[in-house]
Amino acid sequence: MLVQNILNGISLGSVYALIAVGFALIFNVLKFSNFSQGGVMTVTAYAGYVASRYLSDRLDSLVLFAAVLAAAAVSGAVIAAAVERLAFRRLRRTKSEPVYYFISSITMGILLENLITIYASSNFYSYPRFFATSAVPLFGVNVAVTDMMMFALSIAALLALLFILHRTKIGLGIRAACFDVNTVQLMGMNPDFLVTTALMISGALGGVSGVFLGMNYTLYPQLGQMVVKGFVASVLGGLGSIHGAVIGAVLLGILEIFFISWVGAGWAPVFVFIVMLAFLLVRPRGIAGIIVQEKA
Amino acid sequence: MDYFVSTVIFTGIALIGVLGVYLITGLTGLFSLGQAAFMAIGGYVSAVLIRNYNVPVVPAVALAIVAAMLAALLVGLPTVRLRRDYISLVTLGFGEAIVALLNNSANITGGAMGISGIPQLTTLPVVLVSVVVCLALVILYKNSKYGRQCLALRSDELAAKSMGIDVYRLKLITFLFAGALTGYSGVLFGFYTTYLEPAAFNWIISAEWTIIVFVGGVNSLTGTVLATILLTWLPEFLRFASEWRVAIYCVIVLLIVNYRTAGIMGERELSPKTLRRLLGRTKEAPR
């Protein structure tokens, strides 16, 4: 039971990690919590579903699954780029404070969710089953294949992100933009391009997590509100820290699964809240321990 | 006419709740993503006291406000010392926890089914008087020592601290006041709809209230009031657009935030002084 819970928690946490890392990335570049990610996740979950309906005759199991994920990731990136153009570009031109980005992004999230509500008219859909076997034995417990897939693919996506950030020129640019967007411009890089790329990366990660959430639960327009899990994890992880966000997300996943098995799904949020509060009091700088200086 | 009256009542209730958010976000510069939870507390406490324990109305309402303030104390006390970002996180978690609590104490609150059969005590005069009183309180607070200290705290916490302002105490006082206002709006809400359910109080509601404050102009109380009235009525005006109306609403908000970032009113306030100037009774002072 213990092992089972830990494994389930890690797999849930790895999905949260995809959302949390997107938050951390954008927080680094633009210094605000990007809640439009929720709307992006809703849209991509539906995009993945549409793709699975079209492709299910032609492809099967693993290939189909990969195609659906790819479709969701691409649509996530495209929508995130559109969000940047519509909701953030002008604010950046006028050098507005981060709070306005925050407001703009929440509104954008609600807008995307509503567009999906209009499209899907609040109906519930569910993804087809991608795999013939539903569970395999591991460490003496049965692990769902989807859980394993979610874990493995989340890790792969996170590694890909680290590779882009630390081994490519674009990644170098994004990391430079995290320090100071204006200096980046002086160095001859295009800040619009860097910000858009960062948002597209976080959108693609959100797209993958959208499909996973849609598979885990059913598809409904409010699915994107799960974005708060990513927000919680990224703040607990230490604002803006990618590694901290991953650790925070996995811990959050494990905590949730444990509380669900001990006190039931209904009471779990109450206990998660208490643990969160206690944690912040003990370690107010978050897991990564970067002390972000308030302006002095 | 009934329809008109009910829209006015809902606008008044929303206005009192948004005033609470204005105190937190507009004056102090913090974000509460769980403000709707205080509304839930106010509504549920008063409803349960009256329905299950036959408590008279006035003490029930008073106790509901006290309960909302106690909850604000519970959340505020440990968090005012933390970084600003953590306050939005803790309030968010608190809001979700309250919704879970309401869902799971079915014997008292009716769980996810909600609580019904609350007496309908909220009438138009009650709402109008409440709005005037709450607005007056907020104006007094804004112009008091505390309000000015809040503004100093918002623009630069460190500087405010070094000027001898007890920022933690100030944040807590503002938080308690906001909790009381939002709690009271919950009382009015419950007594008008005669029905409460936990799902009506999730973080999206709190986020929408914060949006309203920004649309009006985060520096202007007048703007906040104006935006509440406009944005509560807008979906009614857009009724012809049926399912598209929330989307249109979002687009309008996005346009305002992006193209008039300071909000509808910017930093301007409607005060007796500006009113006189508008009406042209006094000459501009020579500069």
Decide if B135 contacts B39 (C-beta within 8 A).
Answer: no
B256 assigned to some structural domain: no
- Enumerate residue ranges in chain A where pLDDT < 70: 122, 132, 289-296
pLDDT (0 to 100) of residue B184 = 92
Q: Please state, in angstroms and rounded to a whole number, the distance separating the CA atoms of residues B205 and B38.
A: 12
The CATH code belonging to domain A2-282 is 1.10.3470
Contact A96 B93 (CB under 8 A): no
Q: Which of B211, B247, B261 sits opposite A94 (nearest CB)?
A: B261
Q: Per-residue DSSP letters for A81-136?
A: HHHIIIIIHHHHHTT--HHHHHHHHHHHHHHHHHHHHHHHTT--B-PPP--S--EE
Decide if A28 contacts A34 (C-beta within 8 A).
Answer: no
**What percent of chain B lies above the pLDDT cut of 70?**
95
**Of B75, B81, B86, which to mutate for an interface test with A (greatest number of A Cβ within 10 Å)?**
B86
Q: Pairing relation of β-strands B195-196 and B115-116?
A: antiparallel
pLDDT (0 to 100) of residue B73 = 92
Q: Which of A35, A117, A266 sits opposite B100 (nearest CB)?
A: A266
Establish whether this prediction's ipTM goes over 0.85.
no
B177 assigned to some structural domain: yes
How far does the CA of residue A155 sit from the closest CA of chain B (Å)? 26
Decide if B182 contacts B94 (C-beta within 8 A).
Answer: no
Query: Domain total for chain B?
Result: 1
Contact B104 A228 (CB under 8 A): no
B210 assigned to some structural domain: no
B240 assigned to some structural domain: no
pLDDT above 80 (res B215): yes
For residue B81, list chain A residues with Cβ-Cβ distance below 8 A: 284
pLDDT above 80 (res B230): yes
B188 assigned to some structural domain: yes
B143 assigned to some structural domain: yes
- Its domain, for residue B61, covers 2-200
The predicted-structure confidence for B94-135, as pLDDT tens digits, reads as follows: 888 888 888 887 777 777 777 877 788 878 888 899 999 999
Say which range, B13-27, B78-92, B204-218, has the weakest mean pLDDT. B78-92
pLDDT (0 to 100) of residue B2 = 79
Q: Please state, in angstroms and rounded to a whole number, the distance separating the CA atoms of residues B154 and A295.
A: 12
The predicted-structure confidence for B42-71, as pLDDT tens digits, reads as follows: 999 998 888 888 888 888 889 999 999 999
| Average pLDDT of chain B, as a whole number | 84
What does R_g of chain A's alpha carbons equal in angstroms?
19
DSSP summary character for residue B268: -
How far does the CA of residue B74 sit from the closest CA of chain A (Å)? 11
- Nearest-CA residue of chain A relative to B243? A118
| Assigned token pair, A205 | 């990660």
pLDDT above 50 (res B287): no
Q: What pLDDT band is residue B160 in, cutting at 50, 70 and 90? A: confident
Decide if A276 contacts B90 (C-beta within 8 A).
Answer: yes
Domain-wise residue ranges, chain A: 2-282
Say how many CB pairs under 8 Å bridge A and B: 119
Q: Please state, in angstroms and rounded to a whole number, the distance separating the CA atoms of residues A221 and A229.
A: 17
pLDDT (0 to 100) of residue A293 = 46
pTM: 0.85
